Structure 1
């Protein structure tokens, strides 16, 4: 029984890896047959794991957030912001997914998870005076959406340059304002 479960988990990861690569190369609307071919699994295996495209993309989003939480959960606010930006550049499908969410769904689910990810680093940055006092965890899904706009570059190098510029602008925007 354990072998079946580990095999199923391996196939699920193969599908997610393939979807990440296919969506990065062809966009989030790429034919799922490309994902099946890249993963080396049958169509039935894909649909048994992910009954619809949205479930597949949500799983990619969850996996990316879990990785960010693991690697940068306790990081400095600006380090975490940069890590999120670079992840968005590396996985454009996640930014497409983020833009597809409506205002209601960003209030819970992925939006709440992003807010939780930033809660402690943001609180620390506000306490230290490096971030403006009115910046709240609930603002972070909006900030991530702004970072997603960096995907308009025509190449990975151009997108990285746009991310750097966006981060520079965002850093100035979220920095603590001097007393007036």
Structure 2
């Protein structure tokens, strides 16, 4: 009797889950052996999927953007979608400070980051406009304003423990939402 091996997509997701957990706990410079151990796979499996740490980070960024887009799609008819998406970003920042710090170190003109910021803007644009039209948001933000909001949410990175970061993220989000709500 043979056991069926998981397909490449399953292994990839398994490795990304492991990398996310390892990097959140130990930083993005953690040995990739920890990712392999967390995923319960062999080293060759990791390198078949991701040739280096940078490839893992790019895949994590892509997955985060895709998940944010999926949440936005689910909230398509919700006038509160803009605020719920901001809450999701705040929570993500609070639980993955090393990941956020990694991307903060990338140069401002980096093409990949420019594309990521553009995608994030596109995800937020329609929900923000819907909130303005529904009278829930005082005014539409510019692209640079939205990036500033994300930077403000990044203040939660100053917390030393996960619970402190979550509390700071909630507090920052509260101030931001108070300023944005009509």
Q: Number of residue pairs matched?
A: 173
Q: Give, in whole Å, the separation in 2 of the partners of 1:107 and 1:17.
A: 22
The CA deviation at 1:175 is: 4.3
Partner residue, 1:88: 93
1:32-65 superposed Cα distances (whole Å, 9 cap, x missing partner): 1111111122222222211221210111121122
Name 1:35's counterpart in structure 2.
35
**1:144 shift after superposition:** 1.8
Task: Report the alpha carbon displacement of residue 132 of structure 1 after superposing the two structures with TM.
Answer: 4.3
Structure 1 residue runs of 5 or longer lacking an equivalent are none
CA RMSD of aligned residues (A): 2.3
Q: In 2, Cα distance between the equivalents of 1:123 and 1:101?
A: 30
Asked if the contact 2:95–2:166 (Cα under 8 Å) also holds between the matched residues in 1, the reply is no
Aligned partner of 1:145 in structure 2 is 151
The one of 97, 114, 122 equivalent to 1:116 is 122
**Normalising by the residue count of structure 2, what TM-score does the alignment of the two structures yield?**
0.82
For the pair 1:65 / 2:65, whether they are aligned, the reply is yes
- Mapped partners of 2:166, 2:113: distance in 1: 28
The whole-number CA distance in structure 1 between the counterparts of 2:90 and 2:66 is 15
Q: Note if contact 2:24-2:99 (Cα within 8 Å) is conserved in structure 1.
A: no
SS at match of 1:37: helix
Gaps of 5+ in 2: none
TM-score, L = length of structure 1: 0.83
Aligned to 2:105: 100
For 1:23 and 1:137, locate their aligned partners in 2 and report how far apart those are by CA, in whole Å: 29
* Preserved contact between residue 24 and residue 96 of structure 2 (Cα < 8 Å): yes
Summarize the Cα distance change of 1:8–1:15 in structure 2 as closer, same or farther, 3 Å threshold.
same
